[in-house]
Structure 1
Amino acid sequence: MSIPAAHGLLRVVLPVPLRREFDYLCPLPLPARGCRVRVPFGSRTMVALVLDHPDHSGVERDKLKPVTGRLDEHPVLQEQELRLLDWAAQYYLHAPGEVYFQALPTLLRKGEAASYRSIDYWHRLASQETVALRAVKQRQALALLEPGPLTAGELEARGIGTAVLRALADKGLLEKREQLPATRDWRHQIAIAHQDKPRLSTEQALAVSCIAQADGFSPFLLEGITGSGKTEVYLQAMEPVLAAGRQVLVLVPEIGLTPQTIARFERRFQVPVSTLHSGMSERERLDAWLSCRDGTAAIVIGTRSALLTPFRELGLVIIDEEHDGSFKQQDGFRYHARDLALLRARQLAIPIVLGSATPSFESLHNATSGKYRLLTLSQRPGSATLAEHRLLDSKHVQLHAGLSPQLLQLMEQELAGGNQVMLFLNRRGYAPVLLCHDCGWLADCERCDAHYTWHKGQSRLHCHHCEHQRPVPPQCPHCGSRQLLGTGLGTEQVEQALAGLFPQYGIIRIDRDNTRRKGSFQQHLEGIRTGRYQILLGTQMLAKGHHFPDVTLVAMLDVDGALFASDFRATERFAQLYIQVAGRAGRASKPGRVVLQTHHPDHALLQDLANQGYRHFALGALQERRQAGLPPFSFQALFRAQATKAQYCQDFLLQLTQQLMPTLPGEVRSLGPFSAQMERKAGQYRYQLLLQAGNRRELARACRQALAIIDTLAAARRVRWSLDIDPVELW
C-alpha cells in the first residue's frame, strides 16, 4: 500500500508477548530508529520503540493507526544496542518487544523523559567539625561525607541509615540539598591510588599483561583459586582502559556483593562509579542508566540486566564469578548475561574477562579448546596458604543439631585461638518438616508438592517454593495430638544449639530471613569484619565472594542430598558450591581448614574435590559429558508448560510432540513430555519437553517449527508455556 505524502510509516515493537512487529502511520519528519513513541494498541495507549521506516506495509491502509505522540528527540538506544537486542530476540526466539524493552529502565518503559531529575544530597556542614560524637554510626557518616556530598542511597550502601542522617541534621551537622547528579568529565582527571596497589605475583602480572595487550575482541577465562587475587587483576587490567577514556562494565552475580566491590574500586580509581541492580529505586536506576549512556560513569558495576545498558564508549567487560547461575534469567526473556556479554564484546571488538575459581563447564571447554585464552592463578598471594580439606564421617555418630563431636572439638580449638568459624547450611528455618509424633501427619503445602518449613521463632509454617505462610497449628489436624515435632535441620535450629554450646562467643546467622531489612546484610558483614561475631552461620549468601581474614575453619553441614540429585548439572553445581564455601577459610596469613560432614566420605566426587581440586574433577566430568553427548557437547531447548490441571499440560505437549516429531531432522532428539521433579508448585502443574541436538542451527530450526505448531494448537490456550534456549536447569 502507499502512504499519504504528509505521513510516513513506522515499524515498532511493543512490550507484549507476541513474536512480531507492528506498523503505524506517523506525520513527517519520522522519529529516528531507537526513539520511543506512543501508539494505540487495542483499547490501550502504549509506549513503543521505533525499529524501522519501511516503504510498504502488509496491513491495509485503512487499518493502520497513527501514533499519538513522540517521546524522544534523540534515540534512547543506539545502533550497537539495537543490533545486540535484535540478535538476542532471534537467538532466544523470544517476543522482540519484550527483548527490546528489557534494555530500558522501568520509567522509560512507562514513557518518562530520558533525563536526569534533581535528587537530594547530604552535605556536611564545616562549621561544626569539632563536635564530639559518641555514636559510631554518626562519626562514620561524617567521615564519609568529608570528601563531598553523597545521596542517601550511596550512604545506605555503606551502612548509614536515614535515622542516622536525620539525627545529625537535628544537631546541625548535616544538611540535605536538592541538586542534579554530578556529571564531571572524568576522562582528564583520572587518579590512581598507588599506595593501595599490592605487588602482583608472577601469575597475576602475566594475566594483567595479556589482557592489557589484547587487540580487538579477546575472550579470557581467568581461573583463579579462591583468594588468589582475581579482583586485583581486574583492577590493574582496567587502568589502561580508563586512562584511554573508555568505560568498564563489571558484572557480579549478587546485589549483596556490590557495596564491598564498589568501595574497593572507588579507593583505587578517583572516577565516577555507578551501580545497576534490582534493589535500586526506579529513579535511581534511570539516573544510573543515563550516566552509563552519557559516559559520565567510568565504571559500572551491576547484576545481570546491567549488560543491556547503553554505553558511550565501552572498552572492557569483566564477569566476576562467571559460573554463577544467577546470570541466567529464569522467567520472561530467558537470556544468559555471560553469553550475551561475549556477543557484545565481539560486536564492539573489545576484550572480555570471565573470572571464577570454579569455571562453568561451558567456559572451561571453550578455554581448553582454544576459543578463550586461559589465564591461571594457582597460588594465594603473600603468606596466605591453601586450606586443608577434611571429610568427617557422620555415620554412627551422635549429632547435636547436625554438629558432630569431632566438629565441635575443632570449633573449640579455633575459637580458643581467637579465630572465627563459619558453618554453612543451605536450608533456612528451624526444620524443613513439621510432623505429628503420634500419627505421622506432615505439614504439607496445599499448593505445592512440598512440605512447609517450620520457622520456630515466628511460629509460622512457610513454603519456600510458593512463599505461602500459615500459623503453626496448636495440635495435629489429623489426630488432635499436641506432639508436633520438627524433623531435619535448618539454620534457625543450628543457631539455637550454638547459643547453648558456645554462650561466650558472638553468633551471627545470615540468611534471607534475617537480612530482609534494607542495609541489614551490610551491617551483619561489618559486625563480622570488626570481630563482633566469632561464629558465622549462613546459607549461600555467606559463601560467595566475601573476604574474612580471621576465618580459619569452614564446615559444611547436611549436604549429602546434592550428591544424588537427578539433574546432570547437579554435581557441577555442588562442586562449585563446595569450592566457593571452602574458599572462605585461610584467606589471610592464618592457615585454614575445611571440614565436610557426610555419611558418604568415600563418594568419588567428594574424594576428588578434597584431594585433587575442582579442575581435576571438572575435566573428568567433561569427558563423561562428551561420552553422553550432553552440553557443552550438544545444545538444548526446553519447552515448559503449566496449568491448573495436569491433563492440560500433558495434552498440549503431547500434541506438540506428535506434530513436531515427523518434521525433526535426524540430529535433533526429543525427551518427554515429562513432569517436573516437583510436579505441582503454587497450584500449577508443570510439565516439560526437551529438545537436544549437536548443531545449533538444526536445533533453532526445530524450535521455530515447534513455535509455528503451537500457534495452531487450541490446547496452547489452556496452559502457560515458555521456551528456554540453553536451559541451565530443569523444573
Structure 2
Amino acid sequence: MIRGVTGSGKTELYVKLAKKCIEENFQILVMVPEINLIPQTLERFKKYLKIIPLQYHSNLTPTQKHKVWKACSREEQIIVIGTRSSIFLPFKKLGLIVVDEEHDGSYKQTEMFKYNARDIGILRGHNFKCPVILGSATPSFETVRNIKINKYQEYRLEKRYYKSKLPMITIIDSSIDRPNEGLTNTLIKSMKIELEKNRKVILFLGRRGFSNSVICSNCKTIVKCPKCGTNMTYHKNVEKLICHNCDFKQNIEQVKKCCDNPVLTPLGIGTQRVENKVKQLFPDKTVLRVDSDNITSKRDLEDFIEKANNNKIDIFIGTQMIVKGHDFKDISLVGILNIDAGLYSTDFRGLEKTAQLITQVSGRSGRQTEHGNVLIQTHNPDHSILNTILKEGYEKFSHIALEQRKNVNLPPYSHIGIIVLSSSNMNFSKSVLNRLKEIKRNKSIFIYGPAQSKVPKRNNQYNYQLLIGSNSSKLLSEHISKFEIYLSSLNKKIKWHIDIDPLES
C-alpha cells in the first residue's frame, strides 16, 4: 500500500516500478477508476518509458479490445492502462499490478456480474506471485484494517511532489452566510481575489442538473419518477426532468398536472444552476461545467483535458468527475458547496466516503502554486466528524470510525451480502424473503430485513432486500448458496440478485 498525500507523486513512483519490471521482461497492468483518467496516466508512462502503453476500457471497439487481448496472451512485453474490466485480460507473464485510487467505488461492478476489480487484482497478484501496489491518499477502511493486522505492507509519501504546502481549509457556516444559488458571500469574495491573480477555481457539488428536485409551490407536490418513485431532477439546458436512477425523461409541460394551478419551483442546486450564477458574477471568465451531462464523448473528454492543461479554463464546476485524480495547473481555490448530505448519510459507509471526498477535493488546490485554499460550506460547522477530518486528518478519522465499526460488527470486521428481490407484487417479495430467513443457519450468521431497498421501485417493480452477514466469509458464502438454490426454484415472475460486500447498504 502506497499512502501518499494528494499530489505526492504516486504516479511517478508507479513509473519507476514499471521501468524495473520492463527491464526484467514482465507485463504490467495499471488500473485507474475512470476512463477520463487514462489519457493523463498514459502520457506520464509514455514520457518516461520506451514502451507505448496500451489502453483498455469499455469505450474501445471490439477490434481494439481484441488487439489488447492478443498482446496479453502472446507474452508480449506490454503495459496496459485500463479501468476495472482490464483485470480480466489474459496476461501470461504479469510482473506488476497497480490499483491507483484503490478506495474508489468505481472499481466495483454493481450491474449484472458483480465484482470488485481491486480484490480480484490482489487475487491475480497472488496467482502470478507478483507485487500488487494499492495507491491512495485516503485508503479504504478494508485496506486500513489489512495494514493494521500486517496483511499489507505500507509505504508513505508524506510530502507533495512540487514541495507545495497542503491547502488551508476553512469552514463557512451556511446558516449565517446564506448561499445565493449555492454560493456564499465569503466564497464569492475569495473567488474574486484568486481570479484577479489569474489563478484557477474549482467549485464542487454532488449533484448534476439545475436543481435536486422540483416542487409545485401551490399544492406542495414533489415531482417523482412514475417508474421508480425517485425525485426527478430538473435540467434547464434541455428543459426536461430526468430521473438519475432509471433515466426516465419528461418534458416540463408533461408534469404540470398535479393541481389546477401548478407552479413548478426548483429545490436545491445542481451544477447547471451554479454555472448560470457564476457566469453572471464573472462574465469575463471562462467557465467549464464538468459532469456526465456535459462530458458525454471521447472528444468532449479530450477537449476538456486540452483546455485544462493549456490554461484555457478559469473556473471549473463539477461533480465527482472533476476530483478523481486530475492534476490541474494553478488551482488555488476549491469551494465545496454542500457537504451536509454526506455527513448525515444512512449508509454505514457514508462518513468514510465523505471523508475521502473532502480530502480528495481539497487535494486539487495548491498543487503547483504558492498556496491553496479550500472553503467548505455547511449548515453544521460544529459536526464532530467534520472537525476530526479537518483538524486531525483522514488517518485519525479512519481509526476512530473503524473502532465504531468494530463495536457494532460492521465491515471490515464482518462480511455482508444483500439479497434483493424485484416483483410487481410487493407482498410476494416480502413473503419470499421471510421464507429465506427460515432456512436453517449457523449461529454466527445474522440476517436483517426484509426491508425496502435503497431504490424501492424501478420500472414498476418493487424492490425488497435482506442483509445477511457473518464474521466468516466461508460460512456466509455457504449460507448464500442455500439462498441461491431456493431462489432458483421459483418462477420467473420474480427477479433477484445477490451482492457480496456491497458498497452501499
Of 275, 299, 312, the residue aligned with 1:532 is 312
Query: Structure 2 residue aligned with 1:237, among 8, 17, 38?
Result: 17
Letter in 2 for 1:728: L
Q: Which residue of 2 aligns with 1:667?
A: 444
Query: Is residue 164–residue 366 contact of structure 2 (8 Å, CA) maintained in 1?
Result: yes
Q: Is the 8 A contact 2:21 2:27 kept in 1?
A: yes
Amino acid corresponding to residue 298 of structure 1 in structure 2? I
Work out the CA distance in 2 between the residues paired with 1:447 and 1:291: 45
Count the aligned residue pairs: 505
The farther-off stretch of 293-302 and 684-693 is: 293-302
- Three-state SS of the structure 2 residue aligned to 1:473 is helix
SS in 2 for 1:672: strand
State yes or no: 1:720 paired with 2:495: yes
Aligned twin of 1:702:
479
Q: Secondary structure of the residue that 1:363 maps to in structure 2?
A: helix
Residue 320 of structure 1 aligns with which residue? 100
**1:510·1:542 contact (CA, 8 Å) conserved in 2?**
yes
* 1:310 matched to 2:97: no
Distance 1:352 1:517, change over 3 A: closer
Q: Against the structure 1 CA distance between its residues 448 and 475, is the aligned structure 2 distance closer, same or farther, given a 3 Å change threshold?
A: closer
Give the unaligned 5+ runs of structure 1: 1-220
Partner residue of 2:245?
465
Report the AA paired with residue 334 of structure 2: V
Q: Matched residues in 1 for 2:261 and 2:39: separation?
A: 50
Partner secondary structure for residue 505 of structure 1: coil
Secondary structure class of the residue paired with 1:300: strand
1:417 equivalent in structure 2:
197
Looking at structure 1, the residues matched to 6 and 192 of structure 2 have their Cα atoms a distance apart, in angstroms, of 25
Structure 1 partner of 2:360: 580
- 2:136 matched to 1:356? yes
* Separation of aligned partners in 2, 1:437 and 1:707: 48
What aligned pairs does 1:220-299 form with structure 2 within 5 A after superposition?
A: 221-296=1-76, 298-299=78-79
Superposed displacement of residue 482, structure 1 = 5.7
Amino acid at match of 1:416: E
Shift of 1:356: 0.5
Deviates more, 1:394-403 or 1:367-376: 394-403
Report the Cα distance in structure 2 between the residues aligned to 1:435 and 1:722, rounded to whole angstroms.
34
Give the letter for the 1:507 counterpart. V
1:474, 1:253 → 2: CA distance? 38
Contact 2:27 2:76 in 1 (8 A): no
Give the structure-1-normalised TM-score.
0.68
Task: Give the corresponding residue for 2:335.
Answer: 555
> How far does residue 581 in structure 1 lie from its aligned partner after superposition?
0.7
Letter in 2 for 1:723: I
Match of 2:411 among 631, 637, 642: 631
Pairing partner for 1:545 from 325, 333, 347: 325
**Which whole-Å CA distance do the structure 1 matches of 2:204 and 2:130 have between them?**
39
Matched position secondary structure for 2:218: coil
2:398 is aligned with what amino acid?
A
* RMSD, aligned CA: 1.5
Percent same amino acid at aligned positions? 35
After superposition, give the CA deviation of every residue in 1:556-604 in whole Å (9 maximum; x if it has no partner). Answer: 1122111111111111111111111111001113210111100001101
Matches within 5 A, 1:447-458: 447-458=227-238
Deviation at 1:479, TM superposition (A): 2.9
Distance 1:711 1:357 in 2: 43
Q: In 2, distance between residues paired with 1:698 and 1:534? A: 55
Distance 1:381 1:479 in 2: 59
**CA offset digits 1:355-412 (Å, max 9, x no partner):** 0011000011101210010111111134311111111111033321010001111111
Structure 2 runs not aligned, ≥5 long? none
Once the 2 structures are TM-superposed, how far is the Cα of residue 438 of structure 1 from its aligned partner?
2.2
Runs of 4 or more above 4 Å deviation: none
Amino acid at match of 1:278: S
- For residue 458 of structure 2, what is the aligned residue in structure 1? 681
Residue 648 in 1 paired to residue 434 in 2?
no
For 2:222 and 2:501, locate their aligned partners in 1 and report how far apart those are by CA, in whole Å. 37
Note closer, same or farther for the CA distance 1:666–1:607 as it changes in structure 2 (3 Å cut): same
- Give the aligned partner of residue 396 of structure 2: 616
Quote the Cα distance in structure 1 between the aligned partners of 2:40 and 2:325: 10
Query: What is the DSSP-based 3-state SS (H/G/I as helix, E as strand, rest coil) of the residue aligned with 2:298?
Result: coil
Once the 2 structures are TM-superposed, how far is the Cα of residue 648 of structure 1 from its aligned partner?
2.6
2:175 matches 1:395: yes
| Larger radius of gyration between Structure 1 and Structure 2 | 1
Q: Select the residue among 133, 138, 161 that pairs with 1:381.
A: 161
Aligned-partner SS, 1:457:
helix
Q: Report if aligned partners of 2:25, 2:77 keep a CA contact under 8 Å in 1.
A: no
Deviation (angstroms), 1:460: 0.8
Q: 1:480 to 1:517 in 2, by over 3 A?
A: farther
Helix, strand or coil: the match of 1:718?
A: coil
How far 1:497 moved relative to its partner?
A: 0.5
Whole-angstrom CA distance in 1 between matches of 2:343 and 2:481: 37
Q: SS in structure 2 opposite 1:519?
A: helix
Amino acid at match of 2:160: R
- Residue 580 of structure 1 aligns to a residue whose secondary structure is helix
1:717 Cα deviation after fit = 3.2
What is the alpha-carbon distance in structure 2 between the residues aligned to residue 297 and residue 284 of structure 1?
18
Name the CA distance, whole Å, in 2 between partners of 1:321 and 1:574.
15
Q: Determine which of 398, 406, 429 is the counterpart of 2:186.
A: 406
C-alpha distance in structure 2 between counterparts of 1:474 and 1:664, whole Å: 51
